[in-house]
Amino acid sequence: MRALLLVDVQYDFLPDGALGVPDGDQIIPVLNKVQEKFPLVVATQDWHPQNHGSFASNHPGKKQFETTELGGLEQILWPDHCVNGTRGAEFSRDLNMHAVEAIFRKGTDPRIDSYSGFFDNGKKKSTGLADYLKGRGVTSVYMGGLAADFCVGFTALDSKECGFETFVLEDATRPIDPEGWTKMKQSILDNGGKIISSSDL
């Protein structure tokens, strides 16, 4: 069985948001349209406490987009985004959420970032998504959302590693940095994932 995963379609990743992805809003009609082709639709939500270690504001003297170390890993310092309970953390109201059966939140631990919907960046903690999908009989995971070069990309890599046939809908995602997406795409392909268009479904 196949499932559709909607990754982080939240106001802070849309063009006017705190960490706005260029043209990120253009993926929403695509994600709404393809949902009818899937018996199961699931969403992820970036959901940080205000004291999250990935926020530049929590590292005095550091600037946004500089790097530091967090939990033993290199960490890009982001603008404050997707703070739990704020509007920026909400799903876009233009995204159809009626069919979404479950929502998996990530980035809740202030000491570690979590780009993938499956595990934190150090793979120490699982969100439960893989077990949930396996429990529902899912063998293939299709995904879109934001941002292509971070959360969608790392979710795709983990999906493949968890044993799912993995497809990224390229017209249903947009990157923060186009060069980063070119590299991430290669990595997904090298690991056996597939990059397709919603028109291939």
**Neighbouring-strand partners of residue 130:** none
Among this protein's residues, is 120 annotated catalytic? no
Tokens 């004291």 -> residue: 51
CB of 121 to ligand VGL, least distance (A): 10
Q: How far is the CB of 150 from Zn ion (least distance, A)?
A: 8
Classify 73 in phi/psi space as left (phi over 0), alpha (psi -120 to 50) or beta. beta
Q: Which residues contact ligand VGL (rule: CB under 6 A)? A: 8, 13, 46, 78, 115, 146-147, 150-151
**Does 123 qualify as catalytic in the annotation?**
no
Active-site residue, selected from the candidate residues 46, 80, 106, 113: 106
Taking the C-alpha atoms of residue 133 and residue 52, their distance in angstroms, rounded to an integer, is 28
CA distances from 43 to 6, 101, 108, 183, 187 (A): 4, 8, 16, 25, 23
> How far is the first Cα of the chain from the last one, in angstroms, to the nearest whole number?
14
Tell me which of 12, 149, 151, 158 is the catalytic residue: 151
Our CB check for Zn ion shows the closer of 53 and 138 to be 53
* Partner that binds at residue 104, options Zn ion, ligand VGL, none, CB closer than 5 to 8 Å by kind: none
> Least CB distance from residue 82 to ligand VGL, whole Å?
7
Catalytic residue numbers? 8, 106, 151
